[in-house]
Structure 1
Amino acid sequence: MDVKKLAAIYQVAQKRRIRELTIETKASKVKMVLNPQKPTAYPPETTSPSVVTTDNGENKANFEQQNAGSQSLDKFDIVSSQIGFFSRYNPKTKRHYVKLRDQVKKGAVVACIKSMHLHYEIQVEKPGKIVEFLVEEGQPVEYHQPLIRLIQI
């Protein structure tokens, strides 16, 4: 296959945000993997102290209040119990199980993993409020991959 054709195909694939592309001809086979996703390692969250300019008691009280408020937000992730494809939709009702900022109780179903034409429900282990979806609809997930981030309530 001509290098100029491959370069043109590569540019179009990047513009359309295609991740993987395979081209077969009678003489050759070319596979392009664009922007492969690597597993994301989340750094531990740290709080930086506020700067206190004067030495009066009011500023110290504000500083302690800010630190107490940030430490009380106990975040945790719901992880995948198996491999498959992530889905936020309930296959029976065709609606989302939960939405961003929903409060969920222990044992509530928040998503499902589709594997081998079966739907495996993902349940919450402790009550919380949903703050972030770490995986998009239909994306493949691995065993123990973080799916949803919550704040414990």
Structure 2
Amino acid sequence: MNFKEIKELIEILDQSSLTEINIEDKGNVVNLKKEKETEIITPQISQQPMQQVAPQQEIATAPAASNNADTAANSAADTSGKTINAPMVGTFYKSPSPEEGAYVQVGDAVSNDTTVCILEAMKLFNEIQAEVTGEIVEILVEDGQMVEYGQPLFKVK
């Protein structure tokens, strides 16, 4: 078989519903196989609040009563102040670019519509608003850190 004949066989296979062609000619064997096309599905990210599962996991994995008491004490301490939680999974950035300053720092006052950080997910940069009014008491994550849905980012009083 020459190159032109092989090329014609490839075109025939491509245009037909056949998935494989096997030909033996003068001691030469030609096997042509068409691979299945794969469909790429990209997930859609929703910023709607979802039911938080993490606290149930903490309770289920706590092995001793003393840990339950510690968890209850920490929960009571956390409820005295408000937190700004991650509305989605992504990478936390405290500023719009490395050259610019942080959106907020400890001691800054925030209101419902104050942008406090950016979360990057799948190359999309989402500005996150405080959605609470108060003063930033603590920044709980580092710049460039991956965060989970519902993870506290800032403490606000």
- In the superposition, the TM-score normalised over structure 2's length comes to 0.49
Structure 1 CA distance, aligned partners of 2:115 and 2:134? 13
Find 1:118's aligned residue among 101, 113, 124.
124
After superposition, the Cα gap between the structure-2 partners of 1:118 and 1:92, relative to the gap in structure 1 and judged at 3 Å, is: farther
Other structure's SS at 2:75 match: coil
Q: Which residue of 2 aligns with 1:44?
A: 75
- Report how far residue 98 of structure 1 moved: 0.8
Residue number in structure 2 paired with 1:143: 149
Q: Distance in 2 between matches of 1:44 and 1:82?
A: 22
The aligned amino acid for 1:75 is G
Q: Separation in 2 of the partners of 1:105 and 1:95? A: 19
Question: Which residue in the other structure is 2:100 paired with?
Answer: 94
State the AA in 1 paired with 2:143.
Answer: E
Tell me which amino acid in the other structure corresponds to 1:44. Answer: S
> Does the 8 Å contact 2:119/2:128 carry over to 1?
yes
Q: State the match for 1:107 in structure 2.
A: 113
Q: Which has the higher helix share?
A: 2
Larger Rg, first or second structure (1 or 2): 2
Number of residues of Structure 1 aligned to a counterpart in Structure 2? 86
SS of 2:76's equivalent in the other structure is coil
Identical amino acids, percent of aligned pairs: 34
Aligned counterparts of 1:108 and 1:91: Cα–Cα separation in 2? 17
Structure 2 unaligned spans of 5+: 1-57, 59-70
One-letter amino acid of the counterpart of residue 122, structure 1: I
- Kindly provide the CA deviation profile for residues 88-145 of structure 1, in whole angstroms up to 9, marking residues without a partner as x: 0123972210111101122110011011111111111121100001111111000111
Q: Does 1:85 align with 2:116?
A: no
TM-score (norm 1): 0.50
